[in-house]
């Protein structure tokens, strides 16, 4: 088999091999194959997630199976099935959104393949087949364990069909909704390609990609909050016609033996929606391939815009020329790069999901008079943590890696000014997004306590920034990225620690808002910690040399005497 794969075969096979091997490669990473390593690690962390929750699910279904009537059991099954269907669809949707630029051939593909005796249609069909193979692999991996474990833990005397039939029903319905999400997003990009003017395509699709990433992350997190009450509300005809996961829940119910006419209607809607998504993808690929080549090869640059007001504001806020240049570089990168914007908006979606789920729990755990203050504190802390983590992650991805030579040449002249510009940029955007914009609403609801809460949030933000950027040794968007440098299991542990950190910090800050002594103590501790961390960070700036190529951590650390 290896010898056969080494040989050259038909153009279609070689194109398919090319797209499969290059699907996850990127100019952002230090070396080819690193993205695949990170993906494999993420899958290895993701696979055990469902067996972890299987124990509580088994106990829950054992209780409902002991009830003398089947109604509660079947309601809870529908709710859990809707949770899994929504989770899987949003996971595949997030994968398609992150790889948005890879859904169609890119400029590099045309440069590499344009001189060969190949038709554009052959390139597109090979790209579509490669996407289908990758999507199928991802769908099988995501759905394998839930399809086997969930029917087993939910088995009981009130189940409508045997275990094997329910395993097949779960896998088919879950795989169908995943294919629907994948085809729908691919068709959306293809239709935008056909409809939009080339000069508007990149701008519009960049923002669409960002909003989709935020929405998919939001759905993934909020899917864990689906209860029978939410499922019953979603199954009402007025809501069900607009909710694709509910359509495929109907498909599952029909395959599992439910004879309810409403479920049969939802199953028919699911099948029709999947067929329409497939047809739209084929139409978009066949009708848009010529336009896509012209868009990439001939260029679709947007017209010049009047930036006089923006430049005037920037000069007023940042009078130092070198800091102006770095600040303008960061602003333009975030405004023009959909790749960076989608990651930042994904963090925003995760923050909103945590905020919504946390707000629902706060109302039942604090006094009625403190609910509004608790909500503002929790939202501020959540947005603060996610914004800082998102900015640090986005800053680590280069915009145009091969163009960082200009920064290397002038680093010795402006290194300290650059680092100060990064500090001011993060702190200013964070203050604007978290404190300034929501303050009028907060002041109207909390009165004078709004100012105390803002002071606490500001002190926490300053400390969080200095701590998170303590080891920062780069200029944003100029250094290559090594995605597999931090093991995925370590990222998962940090996420769990974050989920435990947010309620604890919220509780401490909320108590100090209603106690003057506690407020002074907490604020003093935050400011003292910030002063110490900031001084230690600034002390290392004198001998610091910026990093432009990220590499794995060495097995033996040197003394860094030449830095």
Give the pLDDT confidence of 355-384 residue by residue, as tens digits. 888 777 776 677 777 888 888 888 889 989
Tally of CB atoms within 10 A around 151: 24
Which residue in this structure is represented by tokens 């200029």? 475
Q: So what's the pLDDT on residue 71?
A: 87
| Residue 107 near residue 100, CB atoms below 8 Å | no
Q: Average pLDDT in the 420-437 region?
A: 87
Is residue 439 pLDDT above 50, yes or no? yes
DSSP state of 105: -
Distance CA 408, CA 109 (A): 30
Q: So what's the pLDDT on residue 458?
A: 92
Q: So what's the pLDDT on residue 120?
A: 67
Q: What is the mean pLDDT of the chain?
A: 81
Is residue 563 pLDDT above 70, yes or no? no
What contacts 24+ positions apart, CB below 8 Å, involve 15-20?
A: 15/113, 15/118, 15/122, 15/123, 15/126, 15/127, 16/126, 16/129, 16/130, 16/133, 18/112, 18/113, 18/126, 19/109, 19/126, 19/127, 19/130, 19/131, 20/130, 20/133, 20/134
Q: So what's the pLDDT on residue 274?
A: 95
* Predicted confidence band of residue 488 (pLDDT cuts 50, 70, 90): low
* Predicted confidence band of residue 300 (pLDDT cuts 50, 70, 90): very low
Q: Average pLDDT in the 270-287 region?
A: 88
Give the pLDDT confidence of 314-329 residue by residue, as tens digits. 888 888 888 888 899 9
Q: So what's the pLDDT on residue 562?
A: 46
Is residue 281 pLDDT above 90, yes or no? no
Give the pLDDT confidence of 116-168 residue by residue, as tens digits. 666 767 777 787 788 888 889 889 988 888 898 899 888 888 888 888 889 99
Query: Comparing 16 with 57, which gets the higher pLDDT?
Result: 57
Residue 153: closest CA among 46, 248, 69, 81: 81
| Residue 396 near residue 481, CB atoms below 8 Å | yes
Q: Average pLDDT in the 401-417 region?
A: 83
Query: Comparing 426 with 500, which gets the higher pLDDT?
Result: 426
Q: So what's the pLDDT on residue 80?
A: 93
Is residue 273 pLDDT above 90, yes or no? yes
Q: Average pLDDT in the 431-441 region?
A: 86
Give Cα separations from 352 to 18, 142, 220, 385 (angstroms): 39, 24, 12, 12
Least confident of 20-29, 250-259, 408-417, 476-485: 20-29
Q: So what's the pLDDT on residue 470?
A: 86
Domain boundaries, the chain: 7-297, 317-539
Q: Average pLDDT in the 506-523 region?
A: 91
Is residue 412 pLDDT above 60, yes or no? yes
Q: Average pLDDT in the 427-450 region?
A: 87
pTM, entire model:
0.80
Q: So what's the pLDDT on residue 270?
A: 95
Query: Comparing 281 with 178, which gets the higher pLDDT?
Result: 178
Is residue 54 pLDDT above 50, yes or no? yes
Q: So what's the pLDDT on residue 561?
A: 47
> For residue 533, how many C-alpha atoms fall within 13 Å in the half-sphere facing its CB?
19
Is residue 555 pLDDT above 70, yes or no? no
């Amino acid at each position: 088999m290896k010898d056969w794969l080494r040989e050259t075969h038909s153009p279609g096979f070689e194109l398919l091999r090319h797209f499969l091997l290059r699907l996850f490669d990127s100019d952002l990473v230090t070396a080819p194959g690193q993205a695949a390593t990170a993906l494999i690690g993420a899958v290895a962390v993701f696979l055990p997630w469902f067996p972890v929750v299987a124990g509580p699910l088994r106990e829950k279904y054992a209780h409902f199976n002991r009830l003398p009537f089947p109604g509660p059991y079947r309601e809870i099954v529908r709710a859990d099935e809707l949770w899994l269907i929504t989770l899987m669809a949003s996971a595949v949707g997030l994968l398609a959104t992150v790889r948005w630029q890879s859904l169609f051939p890119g400029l590099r593909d045309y440069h590499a393949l344009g001189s060969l005796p190949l038709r554009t249609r052959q390139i597109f069909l090979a790209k579509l087949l490669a996407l289908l193979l990758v999507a199928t692999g991802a769908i099988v991996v995501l759905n394998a364990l839930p399809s086997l474990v969930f029917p087993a833990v939910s088995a009981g005397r009130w189940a409508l069909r045997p275990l094997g039939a329910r395993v097949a029903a779960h896998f088919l319905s879950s795989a169908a909704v995943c294919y629907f999400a994948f085809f729908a997003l691919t068709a959306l990009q293809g239709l935008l390609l056909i409809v939009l003017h080339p000069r508007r395509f990149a701008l519009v699709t960049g923002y669409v990609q960002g909003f989709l990433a935020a929405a998919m992350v939001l759905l993934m997190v909020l899917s864990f909050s689906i209860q029978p009450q939410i499922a019953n509300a979603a199954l009402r005809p007025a809501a069900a016609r607009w909710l694709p996961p509910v359509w495929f829940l109907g498909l599952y119910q029909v395959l599992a033996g439910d004879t309810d006419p409403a479920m049969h209607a939802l199953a028919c809607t699911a099948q029709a929606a999947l067929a329409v998504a497939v047809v739209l993808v084929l139409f978009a690929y066949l009708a848009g391939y010529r336009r896509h080549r012209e868009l990439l090869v001939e260029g679709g640059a947007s017209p010049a815009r009047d930036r006089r007001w923006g430049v005037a504001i920037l000069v007023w806020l940042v009078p130092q020329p070198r800091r102006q240049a770095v600040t303008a570089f960061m602003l333009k990168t975030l405004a023009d790069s959909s790749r960076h914007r989608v990651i930042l908006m994904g963090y925003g979606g995760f923050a909103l999901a945590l905020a919504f789920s946390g707000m629902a729990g706060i109302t039942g755990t604090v006094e009625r008079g403190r609910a509004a203050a608790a909500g503002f504190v929790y939202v501020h802390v959540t947005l603060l943590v996610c914004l800082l983590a998102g900015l640090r992650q986005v800053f680590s991805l280069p915009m145009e890696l091969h163009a960082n030579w200009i920064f290397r040449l002038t680093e010795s002249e402006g290194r300290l000014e650059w680092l100060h510009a990064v500090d001011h940029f993060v702190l200013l955007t964070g203050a604007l997004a978290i404190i300034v914009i929501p303050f009028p609403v907060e002041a109207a609801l909390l009165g004078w306590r709004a100012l105390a809460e803002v002071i606490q949030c500001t002190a926490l933000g300053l400390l969080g920034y200095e701590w998170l950027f303590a080891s920062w040794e780069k200029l944003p968007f100029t250094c290559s990225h090594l995605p597999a440098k931090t093991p995925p299991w370590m990222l998962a542990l940090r996420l769990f620690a974050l989920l435990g950190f947010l309620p604890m910090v919220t509780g401490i800050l909320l108590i100090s808002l209603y106690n003057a002594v506690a407020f002074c103590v907490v604020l003093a501790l935050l400011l003292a910690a910030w002063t110490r961390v900031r001084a230690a960070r600034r002390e290392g700036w004198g001998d610091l040399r910026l990093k432009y190529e990220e590499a794995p951590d060495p097995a033996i650390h040197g003394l860094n005497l030449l830095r």
